[in-house]
């Protein structure tokens, strides 16, 4: 079971854009509504991402199963988005993909990889911790002016209580 990461090549552009559509549908909880919008928007997004950062395709046994989008600034890298097809979210494939990405970034002399994750997304928080993300870099605080945006779940961070 081999997992590899390679920079996006032109022959995989449309297939990668289709995965961006799937990711956007998941994030927006869409049920295959307006697929043409997502496809067009995904092509525009991927084109923009290619100019602003690097797209890495994720392969399992030479089959394209996902991608990650990384931006670089001096000696830092930012993991902007990652997607792995649902059927491959098992057997440690995601962790192997992150190990492959780690090696690429180390070879580029990147000092740190940063990722933004919502505090309510505990599944991803656990996953990132298992992949070695163990430094808290910064917190983003939000003040709601619309009551319908207020959350009721609490979380304690550094001795402070926040809504998540």
In terms of pLDDT, which residue wins out, 133 or 40? 133
Contact between 45 and 36 (Cβ < 8 Å): no
Say yes or no to pLDDT of 83 above 60. Answer: yes
> pLDDT value at position 38?
59
pLDDT of residue 55: 97
- Per-residue pLDDT tens for 65-76? 999 999 999 899
Quote the percentage of the chain above a pLDDT of 70. 93
Write the pLDDT tens digit of every residue in 118-161. 887 888 989 999 999 988 888 777 777 888 877 778 878 777 77
Taking the whole predicted model, whether its pTM rises above 0.75 is answered as yes
Q: Does domain 3-116 have CATH number 3.30.930.10?
A: no
């Amino acid at each position: 079971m081999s997992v590899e990461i390679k920079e996006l090549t032109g022959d995989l552009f449309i297939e990668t854009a289709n995965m961006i559509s799937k990711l956007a549908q998941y994030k927006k909880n869409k049920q295959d509504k307006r697929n043409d919008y997502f496809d067009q928007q995904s092509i525009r997004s991927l084109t923009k991402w290619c100019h602003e950062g690097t797209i890495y395709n994720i392969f399992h046994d030479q089959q394209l199963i996902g991608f990650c989008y990384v931006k670089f600034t001096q000696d830092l890298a930012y993991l902007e988005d990652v997607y792995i097809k649902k059927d491959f979210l098992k057997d440690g494939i995601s962790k192997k993909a992150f190990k492959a990405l780690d090696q690429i970034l180390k070879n580029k002399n990147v000092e740190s990889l940063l990722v933004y994750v919502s505090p309510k997304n505990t599944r991803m928080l656990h996953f990132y911790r298992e992949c070695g993300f163990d430094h808290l870099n910064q917190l983003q605080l939000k003040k709601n002016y619309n009551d319908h945006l207020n959350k009721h779940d609490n979380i304690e961070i550094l001795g402070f209580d926040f809504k998540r």
